[in-house]
Amino acid sequence: MKAPRLAESDVEWSAIRAQGAGGQNVNKVSNAAQLRFDVSASSLPDALKLRLLAQHDQRISGDGVVVIKAQDHRSLARNRHDALARLQAMVDQAAQPPRPRIATRPTAGSRRRRLEGKVQRGQTKALRAKVSG
């Protein structure tokens, strides 16, 4: 499934001051861009919304709003472009449906190695027992 392009009307922008070092300019100019994207109110298909909200991503708040802060560049326009690209990457990832897992049986070698490991671990623990004598 190809991910749909995001509509500009679904995204809320705000210019904020960037964090970190940057000299006097960082204290005067709001060059960082903060993007807010309400997943449930967006124009994305419902299946894509559910997969996007199911992602365990710290940028998705509890009420289903994606918040992305971009502050890598000195210009607000480049930071806005960077934030939008990161949001589109999240949507692209959610658009790929997960591959169904095909159940397989463990091989004979893996079963043998597992049992040998259990025996070895038991022998190690047996050596910790009190010495009777």
Supply the CATH classification number for the domain 1-128: 3.30.160.20
- pTM higher than 0.75, yes or no? no
Read off the pLDDT of residues 44-97 as tens digits, 9 standing for 90 and up: 888 888 888 888 888 888 888 889 998 888 888 899 999 999 999 998 988 888
What is the rounded CA–CA span in Å between residue 18 and residue 35?
14
Max CA distance (Å), the chain:
82
DSSP character at residue 92: H
Domain ranges in the chain? 1-128
Q: Backbone phi, then psi, for 15, in 5-degree steps? A: -95, 125
pLDDT score at 108? 97
User: Measured at the alpha carbon of residue 99, what is the angle toward residues 107 and 102, in degrees to the nearest 5?
Assistant: 25
